Amino acid sequence: MTPEGSYKNIILFGPPGVGKGAQAQILSHSHHLPHFSTGEVIRDEITRQTPLGLQVKDAVNSGCLADDEVVLGIVMSRIDLKEYSRGFVMDGFPRNVHQAERLDRLLLARGRKITYALFITAPVETIITRLAGRRICSQCGLTYHKEFKRPRIHGVCDMCFGKVVHRQDDSPEAYRDRLRTYAEQTLPLEKYYQRTGILIRVNGDQTVEQVAEEIRKAIDEQ
């Protein structure tokens, strides 16, 4: 139980490839909280051609990053749904301190707040190895890893039998760029959430199960 009541609003952040999405899913199942993957939600808005989705699509097409306010609009439109009233597990947002401040303010206006900010981190070498081994189903988007999470049949998706491929933007140059963006934009969230007193550091340099166990302990034993 959190002192604020029964809800748990949890965010996960950390470098690309550290396994935030997988941990968010595990946490969502174990704590019966809806999983909010910002990337998925935004893709969904674009597919359904909602006004916010169309704004993001314009930004993406013109090669810009989607505007903080547009992404916030999408995030809040979901958080305001009844199914999120008991809490949520969110990954992929916020990505910078400005977004985090805006999110806190918008939540506060609703009498809510983030209860835990889980910072999953790992040494750069681990991150590089994980990113380099990442594979994805060309049909359904399910992710695999050439060492840690192989499909049952080589090159074939377990879920949809689509072709499992090495994504173009998973090249070494691309992930070095992503790591640099992460260090500049997202890493400052560590200090931000430390100040607000809700930061929990998690060692991401372990197996998926071990990381999940560390998170479970941190949340349940607080």
Q: Which of 203, 209, 91, 217 is nearest to 149 (CA)?
A: 209
Nearer to Zn ion, 142 or 199 (CB): 142
Give the integer Cα–Cα distance in Å for 100 and 71: 12
Q: Please report how close the Cβ of residue 221 comes to Zn ion at its closest, in angstroms.
A: 37
Interface segment toward Zn ion; rule CB under 5 A; list 24-32, 60-68, 103-111, 158-166:
158-166
What SS3 string covers 172-215? Answer: HHHHHHHHHHHHHHHCCHHHHHHHCCCEEEEECCCCHHHHHHHH
Please report, as a single letter, which amino acid is at residue 30.
S
Active site residue 95: yes
Q: Contact 13/189 with Cβ under 8 angstroms?
A: yes
Active site residue 20: yes
Within its chain, how far is the Cα of 75 from the centroid? Answer: 12
Active site residue 82: no
Interface segment toward Zn ion; rule CB under 5 A; list 65-73, 83-91, 111-119, 157-165:
157-165
Interface segment toward Zn ion; rule CB under 5 A; list 3-11, 41-49, 94-102, 142-150:
142-150
Residue with token string 């998706």: 157
153 scored as a contact of Zn ion (CB under 5 A) = no
What DSSP string runs through 124-181? HHHHHHHHHTEEEETTT--EEETTTB--SBTTB-TTT-PBEE--GGGSHHHHHHHHHH
Nearer to Zn ion, 137 or 212 (CB): 137
Nearer to Zn ion, 32 or 154 (CB): 154
Cα 159 to Cα 27, 55, 152, 163, 172, distances in angstroms: 22, 32, 10, 11, 28
Q: Contact 27/10 with Cβ under 8 angstroms?
A: yes
Return the residue of 137, 179, 215, 219 that touches Zn ion, per CB under 5 A: 137
Q: Which of 147, 146, 128, 119 is nearest to 204 (CA)?
A: 119
Q: Please report how close the Cβ of residue 214 comes to Zn ion at its closest, in angstroms.
A: 30
Q: Please report how close the Cβ of residue 26 comes to Zn ion at its closest, in angstroms.
A: 20
Nearer to Zn ion, 5 or 155 (CB): 155
Active site residue 110: no
Active site residue 178: yes
Instruction: Please identify which of the residues 20, 112, 130, 135 carries the catalytic annotation.
Output: 20
Return the residue of 56, 74, 157, 179 that touches Zn ion, per CB under 5 A: 157
Return the residue of 127, 162, 198, 215 that touches Zn ion, per CB under 5 A: 162
Instruction: Please identify which of the residues 57, 86, 178, 201 carries the catalytic annotation.
Output: 178
Binding-site ranges for Zn ion (CB under 5 A): 137, 139-140, 142, 157, 159-160, 162
